[in-house]
Structure 1
Amino acid sequence: MNATPASDGRPRPTASGACDTQSPDTQERETVPRQKGGGQEAERLHASTVDFLEHPDAATAAQAAAVENLLRCWVRENDIAPPSLGVLRIPLPASGTGLLVPVHYWSPTGWHRFGLPYLDSGPHGAPCVDAVTLAALLGRESALPGPPSEQQTGAVAPEQLSAELGAAPFGGSGGPSADSGDLVGRVADSVRRTAEFIADRRHRPADDPDRFLAAEQSLLLGHPLHPTPKSREGLSEAEARLYSPESRGSFPLHWLAVAPEALAHDSAWTERGRTVTAPDLTSQLVGPGLALPAGHAALPLHPWQMRELRHRPAVAALLDAGLLTDLGPHGEPWFPTSSVRTLYRPGAPAMLKLSLGLRITNSRRENLRKELHRGVEVHRLLRSGLAEQWRAAHPGFDIVRDPAWLAVDLPDGAPALGLDVMIRNNPFGPEDDVSCIAGFVSPRPPADEPASTGRTPVVSRLETTITGLAARTGRPRGAVSAEWFLRYLEHVVRPVLWLDSEAGIALEAHQQNTLLLLDPEGWPVGGRYRDNQGYYFRESHRAALDQRLPGIGTQSDTFVSDEVTDERFAYYLAINNVLGLIGAFGSQQLADERLLLAAFRRFLTETATGPARLHSPLPSRLLDSPTLRCKANLLTRLHGLDELVGPVDTQSVYVTIANPLHS
Structure 2
Amino acid sequence: MTAAPARTPDEPGATGPDGAARAVPAEARQLLRVLGALLREDVAGLRTRTTLLHRADGPWLRLATGPGHALLLPVREDGFQSTWAARSPLLRREPGGGDLTTCESVLAALAGLAAPEDASGYAAFAEECRSDLAARHLHAATRDTVLTRLTNSHGPRPAHWHGHAGTLAHDTLAARTDHPVHPVPRGRKGLGERELRSYAPEFHPRFALRWLSLPAELVTSSPATDAPATDGIATGPAAHTGAASGPAPRTGPDATPRTGPGTFTAAGGVRLHDGWPTPAELGLPAGHHEGHVLLPVHPLTAAGHLHDALARTGLARHAILAERPLLDAVPTLSMRTVALVGRPDTHLKLPLATATLGLLNRRTVTPGSLRDGAAGQLLLAGVLRREPRFAGRVLLADETCYAHAGHELLAVLRRTMPAGLDDAVVLPLAALLAPAPDGRPVIGHLADRFHGGDRIALADAVLTLLLDWQTTLFGHGIALESHQQNISLVLGGGTEGPRLLLKDNDGPRVHTRRLAEAWGCAEPTGEGLGFTDRRICVTEDGPLADLFTAITVHLCAGSLAFGLAAHGAAPLDRLLGLIRDRLTEAIDRTAAVRPDAAAVLRARVLDAPELPVKAMVTAGTLLTKARSGAADINKHYTTGPNYLLRKA
- Under TM normalisation by the shorter chain, which class is it? 0.7 to 0.9
Q: Which residue of 1 is the match for residue 236 of structure 2?
A: none
Instruction: Note the residue ranges of structure 2 that are not aligned, 5 or more in a row.
Output: 1-10, 155-164, 227-253, 266-270
CA contact (8 A) 2:473 2:479 kept: yes
Q: Which residue of 2 is the match for residue 490 of structure 1?
A: 464
CA contact (8 A) 1:391 1:397 kept: no
Segment drifting more, 553-562 vs 532-541: 553-562
CA contact (8 A) 2:198 2:207 kept: yes
Amino acid at match of 1:586: A
Amino acid at match of 2:644: L
Q: Which residue of 2 is the match for residue 460 of structure 1?
A: 441
SS of aligned partner of 2:178: coil
**Residues 340 and 396 of structure 1, relative CA distance in 2, 3 Å threshold:** same
**Residues 543 and 100 of structure 1, relative CA distance in 2, 3 Å threshold:** closer
Segment drifting more, 604-613 vs 485-494: 604-613
Instruction: Give the fraction of aligned pairs with identical amino acids, expressed as a percent.
Output: 21
Segment drifting more, 341-350 vs 647-656: 647-656
Amino acid at match of 1:386: V
CA contact (8 A) 1:375 1:402 kept: yes
SS of aligned partner of 1:308: coil
SS of aligned partner of 2:387: helix
Q: Which residue of 1 is the match for residue 367 of structure 2?
A: 369
CA contact (8 A) 1:267 1:403 kept: yes
The Cα of 1:468 is off from its aligned counterpart by 6.9
The Cα of 1:620 is off from its aligned counterpart by 4.0
Q: Which residue of 2 is the match for residue 416 of structure 1?
A: 407
CA contact (8 A) 2:100 2:106 kept: no
Q: Deviations over 1:224-280 (max 9, x none)?
A: 32122012121232221111000112211111112022110111379xx99577646
Q: Deviations over 1:275-326 (max 9, x none)?
A: 577646332232352345312111111111122334416537745432x221
**Residues 567 and 313 of structure 1, relative CA distance in 2, 3 Å threshold:** closer
For residues 33 and 303 of structure 2, the distance between their equivalents in structure 1, rounded to whole angstroms, comes to 33
For residues 325 and 262 of structure 1, the distance between their equivalents in structure 2, rounded to whole angstroms, comes to 13
Amino acid at match of 1:283: H
Structure 2 residue 132 is the aligned partner of structure 1 residue 190: yes
Q: Deviations over 1:6-26 (max 9, x none)?
A: xxxxxxxxxxxxxxx985988
Q: Which residue of 1 is the match for residue 529 of structure 2?
A: 552
CA contact (8 A) 1:268 1:275 kept: no
Amino acid at match of 2:289: P
Which of 168, 175, 188 aligns to 1:213? It is 168
For residues 216 and 448 of structure 2, the distance between their equivalents in structure 1, rounded to whole angstroms, comes to 57
CA contact (8 A) 1:63 1:191 kept: yes
For residues 183 and 377 of structure 2, the distance between their equivalents in structure 1, rounded to whole angstroms, comes to 34
Amino acid at match of 1:551: G
For residues 572 and 313 of structure 1, the distance between their equivalents in structure 2, rounded to whole angstroms, comes to 33
Which of 350, 353, 356 aligns to 2:349? It is 353
Q: Which residue of 1 is the match for residue 232 of structure 2?
A: none
SS of aligned partner of 1:358: coil
Q: Which residue of 2 is the match for residue 574 of structure 1?
A: 553
CA contact (8 A) 1:390 1:499 kept: no
**Residues 99 and 378 of structure 1, relative CA distance in 2, 3 Å threshold:** closer
CA contact (8 A) 2:39 2:85 kept: no
Q: Which residue of 1 is the match for residue 40 of structure 2?
A: 76
Amino acid at match of 2:492: D
CA contact (8 A) 1:641 1:652 kept: no
Which of 426, 434, 444 aligns to 2:417? It is 426
The Cα of 1:595 is off from its aligned counterpart by 0.9
For residues 540 and 125 of structure 1, the distance between their equivalents in structure 2, rounded to whole angstroms, comes to 58
For residues 176 and 98 of structure 1, the distance between their equivalents in structure 2, rounded to whole angstroms, comes to 22
Q: Which residue of 1 is the match for residue 158 of structure 2?
A: none
SS of aligned partner of 1:422: strand
For residues 378 and 562 of structure 2, the distance between their equivalents in structure 1, rounded to whole angstroms, comes to 37
For residues 486 and 182 of structure 1, the distance between their equivalents in structure 2, rounded to whole angstroms, comes to 41
For residues 373 and 627 of structure 1, the distance between their equivalents in structure 2, rounded to whole angstroms, comes to 35
CA contact (8 A) 1:111 1:580 kept: no
CA contact (8 A) 1:253 1:329 kept: no
Matches within 5 A, 1:138-537: 138=107, 140-141=109-110, 144=113, 177-206=119-148, 207=150, 208-209=153-154, 210-218=165-173, 219-268=175-224, 279=264, 281-287=271-277, 289-290=281-282, 291=284, 292-312=288-308, 314-315=310-311, 318-322=314-318, 324-348=319-343, 349-362=345-358, 363-383=361-381, 385-408=382-405, 415-427=406-418, 429-442=421-434, 444=435, 446=437, 458-466=439-447, 472=452, 480-501=454-475, 503-519=476-492, 525-537=498-510
**Residues 533 and 221 of structure 1, relative CA distance in 2, 3 Å threshold:** same
The Cα of 1:463 is off from its aligned counterpart by 4.0
**Residues 185 and 406 of structure 1, relative CA distance in 2, 3 Å threshold:** same
Q: Deviations over 1:151-184 (max 9, x none)?
A: xxxxxxxxxxxxxxxxxxxxxx989721111111
CA contact (8 A) 1:282 1:298 kept: no
Query: Number of residues paired by the alignment?
Result: 557
SS of aligned partner of 1:551: helix
The Cα of 1:120 is off from its aligned counterpart by 4.3
Note the aligned Cα RMSD (angstroms).
Answer: 4.1
State TM-score, norm by structure 1: 0.73
For residues 138 and 563 of structure 2, the distance between their equivalents in structure 1, rounded to whole angstroms, comes to 24
Amino acid at match of 2:568: Q
Which of 80, 85, 89 aligns to 2:60? It is 89
Q: Which residue of 2 is the match for residue 591 of structure 1?
A: 570
Amino acid at match of 1:137: V
SS of aligned partner of 1:286: coil
For residues 336 and 104 of structure 2, the distance between their equivalents in structure 1, rounded to whole angstroms, comes to 27
Segment drifting more, 66-75 vs 370-379: 66-75
The Cα of 1:113 is off from its aligned counterpart by 8.9
CA contact (8 A) 2:467 2:586 kept: no
Q: Which residue of 2 is the match for residue 16 of structure 1?
A: none
State TM-score, norm by structure 2: 0.75
CA contact (8 A) 2:138 2:193 kept: no
**Residues 368 and 320 of structure 1, relative CA distance in 2, 3 Å threshold:** closer
Q: Which residue of 2 is the match for residue 451 of structure 1?
A: none
SS of aligned partner of 1:312: helix
**Residues 652 and 532 of structure 1, relative CA distance in 2, 3 Å threshold:** closer
For residues 55 and 643 of structure 2, the distance between their equivalents in structure 1, rounded to whole angstroms, comes to 18
For residues 536 and 368 of structure 1, the distance between their equivalents in structure 2, rounded to whole angstroms, comes to 18
SS of aligned partner of 1:590: coil
The Cα of 1:403 is off from its aligned counterpart by 0.9
For residues 611 and 418 of structure 1, the distance between their equivalents in structure 2, rounded to whole angstroms, comes to 42
Segment drifting more, 369-378 vs 178-187: 369-378
Amino acid at match of 1:286: W
